[in-house]
Structure 1
Amino acid sequence: MRVLGVISGTSMDGLDVAVADLTGAESGELVMRPVGARSWPWPAALRSRLLALLPPASTTIGEVAMLDTLVGEEIARAAESINHEVASGATELVVSHGQTVFHWVEGQAARGTLQLGQPAPIVEAMGVPVVSDVRARDIAAGGHGAPLASTLDALALRTRPGVNAALNLGGIANVTVVPPTGAITAFDTGPASCLIDATVQEASGGAEMFDQDGARARRGSINQALLNRLLDEPFYALAPPKSTGRELFTGAYVRTALASIGLTLHPDDLVATLTELTARTIANALAPYDIQTVYASGGGTHNPVLMEALRRHLGATQLTTSDELGLPVDDKEAYLMTLLGYLSWHGLPGVLPGATGSSQGHVLGRVSPVTAERSVPTSLAIRSEPHQR
């Protein structure tokens, strides 16, 4: 089955789109053949409106409703274009993650999540079924709805010797710990690039969106007082599974931390400190598991200062990338969507029991079908029977 997957991560830098041929649902021996992947940037005005939704900002229900449609329409344009460019127009199923704008966590329990992106425009543009809203069912079943990459990670790493881990460096960092046998553990570790990006954007007045090649972090110096203050964040002490998002790790979060210890830092020193925070919290989170190899993916893999800091803190644990698994670092999350959609279409669980906190595996998402082939019935007879109110 040829499946097209679309996702936009917490960095909101654009849509990642991938096409894969998947087989094996009937036998249980899945095979994924990546066909190709592309990036599709958000239009500047739409991205600005999406960023303006993020906490602690306030908004209106009208703005949420409009953006839900506009995001769906943009996903439809991306899917239609890349379907022809990469898939020869032969896509049979689209899986749309949408854009996360809120992830509701209270203490150690996830209560809900919201991804914008109406599936109806995608169905209209593509003429094939669309699977969407892939996180909500896991949360309803007691899980965190994240990181759903645990399913792909477990299937890709289970046969490798020793205990291995997959790491995604997006806006938020998440890991999947995969032992040769036994339970899979998957959880968010904290910020990856979200705090760095927010700091760079503020310092540059929006001229820079991220720390290109880690240049600011390399120029700057780590401030130990601020680092110690940031490491006191209670989230890091929570036991997995756990999840978080930009609801907690905002630009205001950093300003509050600086104010609490009476510091004013040069932006480069602040970026260097936040880069060290990401590396330290990831390594601390993985320390209890005796990991042999970490396979990293996501935009953060292009930051050499972050990768150097990770190697330093991981010590004897080898750090490599998902490229070694046949999944390009920039495309892995989109290929994950193709897998989850394929599983849902065939009525198979999209999350492993216990991986994100739910005790059982469940079929994820909802399906928007294509236009019905049969016409509307011509009549409806209502035959009343005695009944009680």
Structure 2
Amino acid sequence: MKVAVAHSGTSADAIDIARVDIVVDQSGVIDLTPEVLTSVPWPEPLRRRILDAALGAPVGIGEIARLDIDIAEAFADAVAEAACGGAELVVAPGQTVYHWVEGGRARGTLQLGRSAVIAERTGAAVISDLRAADIAAGGNGAPLMPVFDAAWLGGEARRDSAPIATLNLGGIANVSRVETDGTATGWDTGPANGLLDAVVARATAGVDAYDAAGSRAASGSVDHALLNTLLRHPYFGQLPPKSTGRETFDLAVIDDALAAIGHEVSLESLLATLVQLTARSVAESLARSGAVRTLIASGGGVYNRALMTALRDALADDGCTLVSSAERGVDPAHKESLLFALVGYFGAHGLPVTLNRNVGARVAGTITPAGWAPRVAVGRVAGLRIRERKTA
């Protein structure tokens, strides 16, 4: 089955596009062959509107409605631009603008990008809303990566009788832990690129969207008073499973911490401190879950050399080695695209996935048919007959 994917992370840095051929053999082994893996830039005015909504700027319900359609059109256009025609299914998880967490659990999540628009423009069935079923059942709806990692690394963990962990460095950092029985669990550890990008964008008045290769952070010094203040955020003390988003770790968190320490910090040292915040929160959260020998990293943060260096140092204290997913044959920039292709394929075929053992398995996603549909109960409607109502 040809499956296309159109998605964008919480940083909204680009629209990631994939087309994947998925074949399942008689033994249940899934062959996943990437045919297209690329990124298409957001139109800059639309990206600014997305970030305004995601970062809590006052926007009305009318703007949310317009964003829902404009984002969907951008996703559909990106699929066409990347020459992903011919797909039977498009996985469009949507652009996250809000993740509602209350009392330590997710209550809801809002992703924009109307599936009907994408289906109409691409001519393919669309599966969207991948997180809702898990949240409705009491889960966090995130991260989804354990589904991919259990299929990808479960056999290795069973064979070697050793757990393996993975790390996705997007706007938020999340880890998956694959156990020796082949099952996997995952949780968000805290901020990653999201805070770094927001700090750079504000300091440069939008001229720079991120710290390229972590060069600014590498030239700064960690402010330990600021770091210790940030590490006192209550999220870091919560036990997994847990999830968070940019609405929790926003610029106000930085500004409050700076006010608390009472002295100025240069941009370079602020970035160096935030890099250390991500490294410490990842390493400490992973260590609390139990020892692992290997952590396989993916996501945009892999290209931040200062961040990867800080992570290696923090993990080394616990005897854990950090490697890029590229060393395991998976492009770190596009692992999430492969994840969505797999979860979307499962959902379209009614195969449940487990994000949280306490919640159990749920079928992920809602299908908007166009062309291909997984189940057709009625072909041509020849008429409608209303029977007499039955009474007890």
- Work out the CA distance in 1 between the residues paired with 2:390 and 2:303: 70
Give the SS at the match of 1:248: coil
Relative to structure 1, is the Cα distance of residues 214 and 33 closer, same or farther in structure 2, using a 3 angstrom cutoff?
Answer: same
Alignment of 1:361-376 (within 5 A): 361-370=361-370
Is contact 2:94–2:113 with CA below 8 Å preserved after alignment? Answer: yes
Task: Report the equivalent of 2:323.
Answer: 320
CA deviations on 1:330-357 (whole Å, 9 max, x unpaired) are 0011111110111112111133551xxx
**Matched AA of 1:190:** G
Give the SS at the match of 2:229: helix
Task: Report the equivalent of 2:178.
Answer: 178
- Work out the CA distance in 1 between the residues paired with 2:140 and 2:304: 28
Q: What is the Cα deviation at residue 371 of structure 1?
A: 5.4
Task: Report the equivalent of 1:234.
Answer: 234
CA deviations on 1:204-228 (whole Å, 9 max, x unpaired) are 1111111111111111111010000
Q: What is the Cα deviation at residue 159 of structure 1?
A: 2.1
Alignment of 1:233-382 (within 5 A): 233-288=233-288, 289-315=290-316, 316-354=319-357, 358-370=358-370, 377=381, 380=384, 382=386
- Work out the CA distance in 1 between the residues paired with 2:389 and 2:89: 43
Relative to structure 1, is the Cα distance of residues 53 and 385 closer, same or farther in structure 2, using a 3 angstrom cutoff?
Answer: same
Relative to structure 1, is the Cα distance of residues 329 and 371 closer, same or farther in structure 2, using a 3 angstrom cutoff?
Answer: closer
- Work out the CA distance in 2 between the residues paired with 1:380 and 1:204: 64
Q: What is the Cα deviation at residue 183 of structure 1?
A: 4.8
Q: What is the Cα deviation at residue 49 of structure 1?
A: 0.7
- Work out the CA distance in 1 between the residues paired with 2:353 and 2:295: 23
The percentage of aligned residue pairs carrying the same residue is: 45
**Matched AA of 2:346:** L
Q: What is the Cα deviation at residue 359 of structure 1?
A: 2.3
Give the SS at the match of 2:110: strand
Q: What is the Cα deviation at residue 140 of structure 1?
A: 0.7
Q: What is the Cα deviation at residue 81 of structure 1?
A: 2.4
- Work out the CA distance in 2 between the residues paired with 1:193 and 1:103: 17
CA deviations on 1:85-133 (whole Å, 9 max, x unpaired) are xx5x321111001100000111221101010000112111221111011
Q: Tell me which moved more, 152-161 or 215-224.
A: 152-161
Higher relative contact order (CA 8 A, sep 6+): 1
**Matched AA of 2:46:** L
- Work out the CA distance in 1 between the residues paired with 2:379 and 2:345: 28
Relative to structure 1, is the Cα distance of residues 24 and 267 closer, same or farther in structure 2, using a 3 angstrom cutoff?
Answer: same
- Unpaired segments of 5 or more residues in structure 1? none
- Work out the CA distance in 2 between the residues paired with 1:37 and 1:263: 45
Is contact 2:186–2:355 with CA below 8 Å preserved after alignment? Answer: no
**Matched AA of 2:218:** R
Q: Tell me which moved more, 319-328 or 188-197.
A: 319-328
- Work out the CA distance in 2 between the residues paired with 1:224 and 1:146: 31
- Work out the CA distance in 2 between the residues paired with 1:365 and 1:385: 34
Is contact 1:217–1:272 with CA below 8 Å preserved after alignment? Answer: yes
Give the SS at the match of 1:53: helix
- TM-score if structure 2 supplies the norm length? 0.92
- Unpaired segments of 5 or more residues in structure 2? none
- Work out the CA distance in 2 between the residues paired with 1:341 and 1:179: 24
Task: Report the equivalent of 2:141.
Answer: 145
Q: What is the Cα deviation at residue 195 of structure 1?
A: 1.1
- RMSD (Å), alpha carbons: 2.0
**Matched AA of 1:299:** G
- Work out the CA distance in 1 between the residues paired with 2:189 and 2:366: 28
- Work out the CA distance in 1 between the residues paired with 2:173 and 2:275: 12
Q: Tell me which moved more, 52-61 or 329-338.
A: 52-61
Relative to structure 1, is the Cα distance of residues 175 and 25 closer, same or farther in structure 2, using a 3 angstrom cutoff?
Answer: farther
Q: What is the Cα deviation at residue 261 of structure 1?
A: 2.3
Q: Tell me which moved more, 366-375 or 341-350.
A: 366-375
- Work out the CA distance in 2 between the residues paired with 1:353 and 1:242: 10
Task: Report the equivalent of 2:130.
Answer: 134
- How many residues get paired? 381
Alignment of 1:377-388 (within 5 A): 377=381, 380=384, 382=386, 385=389
- TM-score if structure 1 supplies the norm length? 0.93
2:104 to 104, 108, 131: 108
Q: What is the Cα deviation at residue 377 of structure 1?
A: 4.6
Relative to structure 1, is the Cα distance of residues 25 and 71 closer, same or farther in structure 2, using a 3 angstrom cutoff?
Answer: farther
- Work out the CA distance in 1 between the residues paired with 2:15 and 2:34: 17
1:39 maps to 2:77: no
Task: Report the equivalent of 1:123.
Answer: 119
Q: What is the Cα deviation at residue 385 of structure 1?
A: 3.9
Q: Tell me which moved more, 365-374 or 231-240.
A: 365-374
Q: Tell me which moved more, 225-234 or 48-57.
A: 48-57
CA deviations on 1:191-248 (whole Å, 9 max, x unpaired) are 0111111111111111111111111111111101000000001101111000000011
CA deviations on 1:278-334 (whole Å, 9 max, x unpaired) are 111101111132111111001100011110000000012111111133220000111
- Work out the CA distance in 2 between the residues paired with 1:48 and 1:55: 10
